[in-house]
Structure 1
Amino acid sequence: MTSDATRGKDGEAPAPLCLRVWGGLGNQMFQYAAGHAAARRLGTRLLIDPLEMPLDHAAMGLDLFGIEPEIWRPEGGGLLGRLRSGSVKPKKRHRLWPGPVFMPDSFCHADGYFEIGPGTYLAGYFQSERFFSDCEGEIRALFDLSRVAPTIEPALLAAANDPASVSVHVRRGDYMTNPNATSVHGLLGRDHYDRAMALAERLVPGATFVVFSDDMQAADDLTAHWPNRVLVRDQSREQDLFLMSRCAHHVTANSSFSWWGAWLGRNPERQVIAPRQWFARDELRKVYVDELFPRGWILI
């Protein structure tokens, strides 16, 4: 029997791509954006291999955008039985893909990405807009969350829609509670956020700081002395992401979530202040990050 991944000969439709998806919402958005753009360029379908989720009941962060991806379900072979039994980790599932496999080592750069052909399995972080800038409008439409606007308190919407609003994201969570995550990502402290606030005040006269966090107590402590501050409490992650994107300007954390909040912003003149130290110092010695930041973002 001919596999779906090997079709595309003799005038048939090009073989589909398969994209490995894993990690938190921001990571999944980068991966899906890159896979969607590649499939568009090649005129083919995009299948999803949900690495950390059961194939038959895949639930991804992407669901909140109403995206209903086509899940790849591998067929046959002794490895498949071992995957289902749990004796082999799902990250080996790509070995069941009958076509070529493209796995870049780099976090935000991938030589050969624009040369892949139909029938390729993709697995990478793809954390740069360069992977999908050729279909930016489609990506913005895919990740549009306007439907959540009616669920948000009017005062918060008004704060975000203010022409002098500046979203501020304080990322804590596992960055603080998991020693391994802390050693990789590090924590941005008061000095960093105060420098970002001072710069934002110079760039945005009358700035109102709209503060988001997965640890609002920590964010409150960090920004308690700031002027014109609005704390965004008790919102879902889609409400947070939507409100971030509605703000006129942005101060991001070292977080893919707030990267997307800034990138999805609608203000063509927006100022985005991002941390140069995206990872902990020791990790930065090993990880290339330059292509993570879109042109014009200010690094401090």
Structure 2
Amino acid sequence: MSSPTITIRLVGGLGNQMFQYAAALGLAVRREARVTLDLSAFSAYATWPYQLDRLQVPQDISAEQPLRRPAGRSLPARVVRRLTGGGVKANGLYVEPHFHFDEAFFTLTGDEIRLEGYFQSPLYFAGCQDVLRRHFQPIEPFGPAAQEWSQRIAASRCSVSLHVRRGDYVTNPDAAAVHAALGEGYYGRAIAVIRRIFGEDVDFFLFSDEPDFVQQAFADLPRAHVVRTDPERSWEDMFLMAGCHHHIIANSSYSWWGAWLNPSPDKVTIAPGQWFTRSRLATTNVMDLFPEGWIILK
């Protein structure tokens, strides 16, 4: 008798793909099922490529005919999801009904379950963290630039990763309607908290998709180091973040995972309560997104 199959439709950047895979694995572990990956969305999704193949994630690609639904958070995708709603659909399809953790997720049954959504909560993969940490490792060593930065981070007595996400948050109206690029107020308060805890002897390693912007914006921050790595190996920054002692993350799943992948029980992670724009936050519960112990700055 074959084992049940959990198929996850992947979309978005690396951080989103990791959340989606983690949720599928969390359900598969409970159901004693196997996970297969539906990559069909990437044929029409130009913003980000599929990247889980850069990690030690089993590449069990689904050969089933996918359900054709718009990918991402664009207006057409949001309209279709609003019209079709969330929850269990026909043919074993489960569509994430809301942003916060769905208590009904682990009651899903059937030999073939297909998942669609972002699943941005560690509650979806509680109990399989050790397996995820093994799967969420690069398949190859750092390139020369990242290796040099890794050594600099390791040599620091107190290293703090600080992530500034800009890119489509600034240039893409659809993305900007959901996420707002964080301003200096958040980062100033986060830096102050870190210094209050650890003193002035702190090295800040700054990560961003716009390093030139960060170089200028944080020009007055003592002991700040703008990390510049190979843009063709974009996944490396996440693991450089994970190598830091402590973390100041952006409203980005990318640096969320950079902080989560640091296994130290002594780490301090500061995250923004303003994960979305204020209008989106008015109707969205984001508290299931943050692991216990993280410091959330409102």
Same fold (TM over 0.5): yes
Higher mean alpha-carbon deviation, 164-173 vs 261-270, is at: 261-270
Checking the alignment, whether the CA contact within 8 Å between 1:164 and 1:248 is kept in structure 2 is: yes
Checking the alignment, whether the CA contact within 8 Å between 1:175 and 1:185 is kept in structure 2 is: yes
Aligned to 2:4: 15
Q: Does 1:250 align with 2:256?
A: no
Aligned to 1:262: 259
Q: Does 1:179 align with 2:168?
A: no
Matches within 5 A, 1:51-130: 51-54=40-43, 60-74=50-64, 99-117=91-109, 118-130=111-123
Q: Does 1:220 align with 2:215?
A: yes
Checking the alignment, whether the CA contact within 8 Å between 1:48 and 1:69 is kept in structure 2 is: yes
Whole-Å separation in 2 of the counterparts to 1:74 and 1:112: 25
- Name which of 194, 208, 219 aligns with 2:188: 194
Aligned to 2:71: none
Q: Deviations over 1:124-169 (max 9, x none)?
A: 2110111112010000110123843463455422332224100000
TM, length-normalised to structure 2: 0.84
Checking the alignment, whether the CA contact within 8 Å between 2:4 and 2:31 is kept in structure 1 is: no
Whole-Å separation in 1 of the counterparts to 2:196 and 2:275: 23
> Tell me, what secondary structure is at the counterpart of 1:230?
strand
Count of residues paired in the alignment: 271
Checking the alignment, whether the CA contact within 8 Å between 1:248 and 1:266 is kept in structure 2 is: no
- The alpha-carbon deviation at position 172 of structure 1 amounts to 0.2
Q: Does 1:40 align with 2:26?
A: no
| 2:167 maps to amino acid | G
Aligned to 2:85: none
CA 1:179 to 1:98, structure 2 compared with 1: closer, same or farther past 3 Å?
Answer: closer
Whole-Å separation in 2 of the counterparts to 1:154 and 1:121: 39
TM, length-normalised to structure 1: 0.83
- The alpha-carbon deviation at position 53 of structure 1 amounts to 2.4
Matches within 5 A, 1:22-37: 22-37=11-26
Structure 1 runs (4+) greater than 6 angstroms displaced = none
Whole-Å separation in 1 of the counterparts to 2:118 and 2:65: 26
Checking the alignment, whether the CA contact within 8 Å between 1:159 and 1:210 is kept in structure 2 is: no
Whole-Å separation in 1 of the counterparts to 2:157 and 2:23: 31
- The alpha-carbon deviation at position 98 of structure 1 amounts to 7.4
Checking the alignment, whether the CA contact within 8 Å between 1:146 and 1:242 is kept in structure 2 is: no
- The alpha-carbon deviation at position 43 of structure 1 amounts to 1.3
Aligned to 1:229: 224
Q: Does 1:145 align with 2:138?
A: yes
> Tell me, what secondary structure is at the counterpart of 1:167?
strand
Whole-Å separation in 2 of the counterparts to 1:212 and 1:202: 22
Whole-Å separation in 1 of the counterparts to 2:31 and 2:138: 27
Whole-Å separation in 2 of the counterparts to 1:21 and 1:34: 11
Checking the alignment, whether the CA contact within 8 Å between 2:121 and 2:288 is kept in structure 1 is: yes
Q: Give structure 1 stretches of 5+ with no counterpart.
A: 1-11, 81-88
Q: Deviations over 1:150-199 (max 9, x none)?
A: 63455422332224100000000000111221121012111211111111
Whole-Å separation in 2 of the counterparts to 1:159 and 1:201: 20
Whole-Å separation in 1 of the counterparts to 2:119 and 2:102: 8
Identity %: 36
Checking the alignment, whether the CA contact within 8 Å between 1:210 and 1:230 is kept in structure 2 is: yes
Q: Deviations over 1:2-35 (max 9, x none)?
A: xxxxxxxxxx123312111111110000000111
Aligned to 1:282: 279
Higher mean alpha-carbon deviation, 146-155 vs 38-47, is at: 146-155
| 2:13 maps to amino acid | G
- The alpha-carbon deviation at position 67 of structure 1 amounts to 2.9
CA 1:216 to 1:150, structure 2 compared with 1: closer, same or farther past 3 Å?
Answer: closer
> Tell me, what secondary structure is at the counterpart of 1:60?
coil
Aligned-CA RMSD value: 2.4
- The alpha-carbon deviation at position 75 of structure 1 amounts to 5.4
